[in-house]
């Protein structure tokens, strides 16, 4: 069944638009309650609700909770929490479903709704389609939500800080950018508990400044602050805390591919990477494959979206996977992407090897890559476009197996994403320019 509302990562869009509004959120709560009732005929049917710092989050959370209440399903409100804290609470509380009100790295004008099943795993395409099928045609009578508050932060932070020995970061200065989002309290607390001196950025949320020029999508301020303060590294999250981008002591920014390669190669060397396997998406650089292959490991690729990575990890019994965007899944610790866990894992490698981040990152030699996003009026079927499919095929043939082209529509925004990877910078830049020109002909770019 094709999904109408769910995209790559939940339901997302402009707040107050046709989908992300209180009326639809309540209907979605009803549908999710029906889904829960069908999945759990007996036992725990309670759901857990969290949100990030967006001004629209509280009313959307209340609307979703009211939808659950109208079907007799109780909810526990976690408040402002990182997305991985919702997943962790699901495991700990053995609740039936988790809901996170967030638009992740998107601006404050957007919001969204993510769902997690038992065990803290994001719903599959089929499960999301089932919830859509159960949507009521009309908004139910508005009820006061049957909910209570549950503190999920203390146990989450206590668990995560056990990843490193007590006081192991004493004498370490680092810069932390929490994107004015859900990690403003959790990440600085854990790092300071471990002894680090933490210089913060993006730590003053006002409901409207989440991801605004800060966070994992905007690492420039992080890099500048690392150089200014002489810090050992910088860490940046996105608005809901499931991403991690790093900055080395020289101001160089590391994306998810570099983080994954550092962690995978270190685990391989220690003999603790199950099946010697790293799971990434088609978006990751081909250099990741080369680095793992040389070390005796293998890379498996999935469609874009961390939930597809997680599905493949479960299938392959792998414990490490993620995306170049900074979603890093260490499944032996967290069932979903966790930006703080990823940062602590890299800090652990730094402590063990006594190498700076600028040295560790050399393990990945990236293939030249160029990419861009074009905002479009409408997301059409790529296969039906008159010129773009042929342009993609022609470019790939010209690179003769030493490169690749990735063209896809965003699952959450009205954008087409274009990526060219190849043997030289000149080839990929020229190739991307060709694709942009053709895409602009086939699609209405705005």
How far is 382 from 388, CA to CA, in rounded Å?
8
The 3-class SS string of 38-106 reads HHCCCCCCCEEEEECCCCCHHHHHHHHHHHHHHCCCCEEEEEECCHHHHHHHHHHHCCCEEEEECCCCC
How far is 179 from 183, CA to CA, in rounded Å?
8
Copy the structure tokens of residue 269: 């060397």
Copy the structure tokens of residue 185: 């309290």
- 179: number of Cβ within 10 Å: 33
**The pLDDT value given to residue 235:** 98
In degrees and rounded to multiples of 5, residue 369 shows phi and psi of -145, 140
Residues marked as catalytic: 104
How far is 22 from 59, CA to CA, in rounded Å?
7
Which residues are CB-neighbours of 339 under 8 A, at least 6 positions away?
A: 82, 84, 183, 187, 216, 235, 237, 238, 241, 242, 243, 244, 326, 328
**The pLDDT value given to residue 108:** 97
Which residues are CB-neighbours of 162 under 8 A, at least 6 positions away?
A: none
How far is 22 from 18, CA to CA, in rounded Å?
10
Copy the structure tokens of residue 255: 């994306």
Which residues are CB-neighbours of 397 under 8 A, at least 6 positions away?
A: none
**The pLDDT value given to residue 3:** 82
Domains (range + CATH), the chain: 6-154 (3.40.120.10), 165-252 (3.40.120.10), 256-363 (3.40.120.10), 369-442 (3.30.310.50)
Residue 232 CB-density burial (10 A; 0-12 exposed, 13-18 middle, 19+ buried): buried
Copy the structure tokens of residue 266: 């270190």
**The pLDDT value given to residue 41:** 57
Q: How far is CA 196 from the centre of its chain?
A: 25
Mean pLDDT by 10 residues, the chain (446 residues): 83 95 95 88 79 98 93 93 97 95 97 94 93 86 67 96 97 98 98 98 98 97 98 98 98 98 98 97 92 96 93 96 97 96 98 98 94 94 95 93 89 89 93 97 93
The H or E element that residue 238 is part of is: none
**The pLDDT value given to residue 140:** 64
Q: How much is the pTM?
A: 0.89
Copy the structure tokens of residue 414: 């009205």
- 148: number of Cβ within 10 Å: 10
**The pLDDT value given to residue 147:** 67
CB 271 within 8 A of CB 248: no
CB 73 within 8 A of CB 46: yes
Handedness of CA 239, 240, 243, 248 (dihedral sign): positive
How far is 102 from 11, CA to CA, in rounded Å?
9
CB 11 within 8 A of CB 20: yes
- 197: number of Cβ within 10 Å: 15
DSSP class of 385: -
Copy the structure tokens of residue 223: 């890099």
Q: Could you give the angle at the alpha carbon of 141 between the alpha carbons of 139 and 145, nearest 5°?
A: 105
């Amino acid at each position: 069944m094709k999904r109408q509302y769910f995209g790559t990562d939940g339901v997302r869009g402009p707040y107050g638009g046709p989908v992300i509004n209180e009326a639809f959120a309540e209907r979605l709560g009803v549908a999710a309650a029906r889904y829960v009732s069908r999945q759990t005929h007996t036992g725990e049917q309670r759901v857990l609700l969290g949100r990030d710092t967006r001004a629209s989050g509280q009313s959307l959370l209340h609307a979703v909770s009211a939808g659950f209440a109208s079907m007799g399903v109780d909810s526990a409100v976690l408040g402002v929490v990182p997305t991985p804290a919702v997943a962790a609470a699901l495991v700990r509380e053995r609740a039936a479903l988790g809901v996170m009100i967030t638009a992740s790295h998107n601006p404050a004008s957007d919001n969204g709704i993510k769902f997690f099943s038992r065990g803290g795993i994001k719903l599959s395409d089929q499960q999301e389609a089932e919830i859509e099928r159960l949507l009521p045609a009309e908004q139910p009578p508005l009820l006061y939500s049957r909910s209570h508050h549950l503190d999920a932060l203390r146990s989450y932070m206590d668990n995560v800080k056990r990843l490193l020995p007590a006081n192991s970061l004493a004498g370490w200065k680092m810069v932390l950018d929490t994107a004015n989002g859900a990690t403003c309290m959790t990440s600085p607390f854990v790092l300071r508990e471990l002894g680090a001196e933490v210089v913060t950025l993006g730590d003053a949320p006002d409901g409207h400044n989440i991801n605004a020029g800060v966070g994992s999508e905007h690492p420039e301020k992080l890099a500048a602050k690392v150089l200014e303060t002489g810090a050992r590294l910088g860490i940046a999250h996105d608005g809901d805390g499931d991403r991690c981008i790093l900055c080395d002591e020289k101001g160089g920014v590391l994306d998810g591919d570099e983080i994954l390669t550092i962690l995978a190669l270190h685990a391989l060397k220690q003999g603790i990477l199950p099946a010697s396997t790293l799971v990434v998406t088609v978006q990751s650089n081909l250099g990741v494959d080369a680095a793992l292959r040389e070390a005796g490991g293998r890379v498996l690729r999935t469609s874009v979206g961390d939930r597809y990575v997680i599905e493949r990890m479960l299938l392959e019994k792998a414990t490490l996977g993620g995306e170049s965007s900074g979603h890093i899944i260490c499944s032996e610790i967290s069932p979903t992407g966790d930006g703080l866990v990823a940062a602590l894992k890299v800090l652990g490698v730094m402590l063990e090897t006594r190498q700076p981040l600028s040295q560790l990152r050399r393990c990945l030699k990236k293939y030249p890559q160029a990419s861009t996003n074009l905002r479009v009026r409408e997301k059409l079927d790529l296969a039906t476009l008159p010129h773009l499919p042929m342009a993609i095929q022609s470019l790939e043939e010209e690179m003769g197996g030493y490169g690749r082209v990735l063209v896809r529509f965003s699952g959450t925004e009205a954008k087409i994403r274009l990526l060219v990877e190849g043997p030289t910078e000149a080839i990929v830049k020229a190739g991307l320019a060709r694709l942009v020109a053709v895409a602009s002909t086939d699609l209405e770019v705005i």
